[in-house]
Structure 1
């Protein structure tokens, strides 16, 4: 990664320039048997489409606050990076009533209705498919995102010294602070270019989103993100580590 990178979106751009074909996120859901692997280029394409959805269809702008009510999931990664590209502050599991927009999974739709702004719902089904029946009052992400453009340019410059992420509990990080902390975590974990970090941590605090996205991204590494993996026994976990060429583990 480049020393001049100051936002998570910058880190993704540098990863894309360095090696677009390498795996960046490998996602497992052990409740459904789903496995999805996203290269840098594929993830960047999802981020571009979601960024265009944010600023064009949802009229999001730098400084807006988005309540993100999603679990550790590859689509959550997309939203975290797309918000960084637009300059929207992510309020992770924050109160929808205080947000300009809300993005929610199927288990959080009732809570998300408290948002008076735009609402987006994700079914979180295998292969990113849509809801069988669209939830009333929400745009279905799987319906809205495919038609978005594959290239993204923000309408306004993103200031790395403004709020980028609000963590549960209220701690707020700018883009620059987030990148600095991610680099420090990567160094502490011993991550380097080519490392593969397996994380079973939920996205409910800094440790979870750092291990599950930001630290590997800052190091030029990749993440094997495992949801609903608490039931894996030691043998199954070791088999996954071997199969995915894991070099580091969190959680």
Structure 2
């Protein structure tokens, strides 16, 4: 990161400038066998397209609350950083009835209908596949996001001191997210560039979000994000830790 980085979106821009080709997020779903690896450049492209979808397709504005009814997943990472890019408040597992917009995954579509704003559905299927038909009341993210631009510029500059994240009922500004992530890094054994943490923590707590995204992003590290890790035996886990060159774990 740079000394001027005060939002998660700033951290991503600095990572892109420093080394766009390095892996940033490697995602495993041990219930499906899926593995997805996103370089800094690939993740930044997804974030830019999604931020443009938020700003132009959903008419989201700074301060709008976006309820993210999603698990720890690489596409959740995209939405968290897209919200930061726009200045919207990412409300993890938030109350859809109090949100301006909602983004939901399987098992949460009925809950999300309580939101009166724009609703997007994610299949969370391998390769981000489309739905055969989107859930009633939702647009399909996989259908709409590809048409949006690969570069993003907010209409209004993002205020680092404005609310940016709500998790487990606690609200954090963008600057607080960056500061807390940096302060968490030593306890997670994230020592700087080259650090690589395997996280199986859910995204419904600050600890899960910090280990699974913000702390490695803030320190120039990377994350191996694992969903359904209980499906994997200890021997296979040890092999993953070795093959992925993991330097720290959070599970």
Both proteins in one fold, TM over 0.5 = yes
| Stretches of 4+ aligned residues off by more than 6 angstroms | none
Aligned partner of 1:82 in structure 2 is 82
Report the CA distance between 1:4 and its aligned residue. Answer: 1.3
The whole-number CA distance in structure 1 between the counterparts of 2:242 and 2:146 is: 34
1: CA distance, partners of 2:84 / 2:162: 11
Scaled by the length of structure 2, the TM-score of the pair is 0.98
Gaps of 5+ in 1: none
Structure 2 SS opposite 1:158: coil
Counterpart in 2 of 1:39? 39
Q: Is 1:119 aligned to residue 119 of structure 2?
A: yes
Q: What's 1:174 paired with?
A: 173
CA offsets per residue over residues 88-122 of structure 1, 9 Å max, x none? 00111010000000000011000000001000000
Secondary structure of the equivalent of 1:146? Answer: helix
1:145-190 deviation digits (Å, cap 9, x = unpaired): 011100000010000000000112x210000001000001112223
Q: Using the alignment, how far apart are the partners of 2:32 and 2:146 within structure 1? A: 23
- How far apart, CA to CA, are the structure 1 residues paired with 2:162 and 2:189? 29
Q: Which residue of 2 aligns with 1:186?
A: 185
Give 5+ residue unaligned stretches, structure 2: none
1 CA distance for matches of 2:123 and 2:231?
23
CA deviation map 1:127-149 (0-9, x unaligned): 01111221111110000001110
SS at match of 1:237: helix
Residue of structure 2 in register with 1:224 after alignment: 224
Matched, 1:12 2:29: no
1:48-67 paired onto structure 2 within 5 Å: 48-67=48-67
C-alpha distance after superposition, 1:46-82 (max 9, x if no partner): 0000000000010000010010000000000000000
Q: Secondary structure at the match of 1:145?
A: helix
Q: Distance in 1 between matches of 2:95 and 2:4?
A: 33
**For the residues of structure 2 that align with 1:159 and 1:133, how far apart are their CA atoms?**
38
Residue 198 of structure 2 aligns to a residue in which SS? Answer: strand
Match of 1:246 in 2: 246
Quick one: distance in 2 between partners of 1:231 and 1:54?
35
In structure 2, C-alpha distance between the alignment counterparts of 1:29 and 1:124, rounded to whole Å: 10
Q: CA deviation at 1:212?
A: 0.5
Q: Which moved more, 1:84-93 or 1:180-189?
A: 180-189
Map 1:83-232 to 2 at 5 A.
83-168=83-168, 170-191=169-190, 192-232=192-232
Shift of 1:3: 1.6
* Alpha-carbon distance in structure 2 between the residues aligned to 1:121 and 1:160: 28
